A and B are shown apart, each in its own frame.
Chain A
Amino acid sequence: MNALQSLSSDTWTVAGRTFTSRLIVGTGKYKSLEENAAAVEASGAEIVTVAVRRVNISDPSQPMLTDFIDPKKITYLPNTAGCFTADDAIRTLRLAREAGGWNLVKLEVLGEAKTLYPDMRETLKATEVLVKEGFEPMVYCVDDPIAAKQLEEAGAVAIMPLGAPIGSGLGIQNRVTIRLIVEGAGVPVLVDAGVGTASDAAQAMELGCDGVLMNTAIAEAKEPVLMARAMKAAVEAGRLAYLAGRMQRRRYADPSSPLAGLI
């Protein structure tokens, strides 16, 4: 089997579940549920993140996400967005488990509203409790190789460092720490947050990440469905480049045409 043929079996596994797509997409900020569903389709994502919120008891007939994105076909990954303490995050995920019936969840515990930077003390505390309760948390975290190790030791099934603040679209700010996290991790590593455009996603994959999670980069593009398709291509391109192994950087030029036989 040559390298290209082996690509068809290039899958990744988190908590015993195997996926082909390395792109996880959020379902927030879309203009409509129809556009959201079309973007998920174009992205090829097999996992989507979802939030847990109160039902609108004044108008229970409002359309629901599950009517547009089928949880039987796409894995719902409930998140704890908006939680600022371990207790709130744990409470939210207990409800999510009851609403959906599965243990694979995305944990994020935020430290402050301005940067939405993770509070690692609360995040670690929540990870420990959730693992004890049988959850399989994929954990949003700072791009810190030591914190990543601590989360893995606590039982995180995936490490998801930020590339840049949530919703900022600034791209990967610290390639060195992302690479160090990838090198040190025994569980999948996914860049979560900060991707702005396709090249950012490709860069995450070129650093050796197992996947990329994004929402705003697609939802706030002028043409979200087109950007979703671009992200699919970028994640695949970055993954292929990583597997192919890039050339060494040189300080100066090296001609591509032979010097021998010059007239």
Chain B
Amino acid sequence: MSDNPTLVISVNGEERRLPGPISLIDMLGGLGLDPRKVAVERNLEIVPRSTLDEVRVENGDAYEIVHFVGGG
């Protein structure tokens, strides 16, 4: 079990549970999101798109995932 810990994280203010270990890019894929169309903030720090496959999701992480919508 210790190889597959359940990670409890926050995504856009909602609590999510997912099996670890997992990279950020795989988490986005699991959420059905195209990494080219979103930006990710992890614990208040921007995650550069080029490093999405390197960053590992850690228990307790808080994510904001945003994209462009209509606005004035």
Name the one of A52, A99, A166, A216 contacting B37, with C-beta atoms under 8 angstroms: A99
**B32 near A60: Cβ-Cβ < 8 Å:** yes
**A26 near B48: Cβ-Cβ < 8 Å:** no
**B46 near A98: Cβ-Cβ < 8 Å:** yes
| Smallest beta-carbon distance A3→chain B, Å | 34
Q: Is B8 an interface residue (CB 8 A)?
A: no
Name the one of B11, B44, B46 contacting A57, with C-beta atoms under 8 angstroms: B11
Whether A27 touches B67, Cβ cut-off 8 Å, given contacts A95-B41, A98-B48, is no
**B68 near A99: Cβ-Cβ < 8 Å:** yes
Report chain B residues within 8 Å CB of A99. 37-39, 66-68
Name the one of A28, A57, A94, A167 contacting B70, with C-beta atoms under 8 angstroms: A28
**A51 near B69: Cβ-Cβ < 8 Å:** yes
Report chain B residues within 8 Å CB of A94. 41, 46
Tell me the residues in window 19-58 of chain B with beta carbons closer than 8 Å to chain A beta carbons: 31-33, 37-41, 44, 46-49
**A50 near B70: Cβ-Cβ < 8 Å:** yes
Bound complex: CA A240 to CA B68 (Å): 34
Name the one of A57, A97, A216 contacting B72, with C-beta atoms under 8 angstroms: A216
Bound complex: CA A216 to CA B44 (Å): 33
Name the one of B11, B12, B68 contacting A78, with C-beta atoms under 8 angstroms: B68
**B66 near A55: Cβ-Cβ < 8 Å:** yes
Q: Is A121 an interface residue (CB 8 A)?
A: no
Report chain A residues within 8 Å CB of B68. 50-52, 64-66, 76, 78, 96, 99-100
Report chain A residues within 8 Å CB of B13. 54
Size category of the binding interface on chain A: 35 or more
Q: Is A36 an interface residue (CB 8 A)?
A: yes
Report chain A residues within 8 Å CB of B49. 98
| Smallest beta-carbon distance B14→chain A, Å | 7
**B38 near A55: Cβ-Cβ < 8 Å:** yes
- Give A80's nearest chain B residue, CB to CB: B71
Q: Is A249 an interface residue (CB 8 A)?
A: no
Q: Is A29 an interface residue (CB 8 A)?
A: yes
Bound complex: CA A98 to CA B38 (Å): 8
Bound complex: CA A146 to CA B68 (Å): 33
**A53 near B14: Cβ-Cβ < 8 Å:** no
Name the one of A50, A81, A95 contacting B39, with C-beta atoms under 8 angstroms: A95
- Give A50's nearest chain B residue, CB to CB: B68
| Smallest beta-carbon distance B38→chain A, Å | 6
**B72 near A55: Cβ-Cβ < 8 Å:** no
Name the one of B46, B65, B69 contacting A65, with C-beta atoms under 8 angstroms: B69
**B72 near A166: Cβ-Cβ < 8 Å:** yes
Whether A53 touches B66, Cβ cut-off 8 Å, given contacts A94-B46, A95-B46, A98-B46, is yes
Q: Give B contacts to A, CB under 8 Å.
A: 11-14, 31-33, 37-41, 44, 46-49, 64-72
Known: A27-B69, A55-B66. 5 other contacts (CB 8 A): A50-B70, A53-B67, A54-B64, A81-B72, A94-B41
15 inter-chain pairs at a CB distance below 8 angstroms, sorted by A residue, are A26-B72, A29-B70, A49-B71, A55-B38, A57-B14, A57-B65, A60-B31, A60-B32, A65-B70, A66-B67, A91-B44, A95-B46, A96-B66, A98-B47, A99-B66
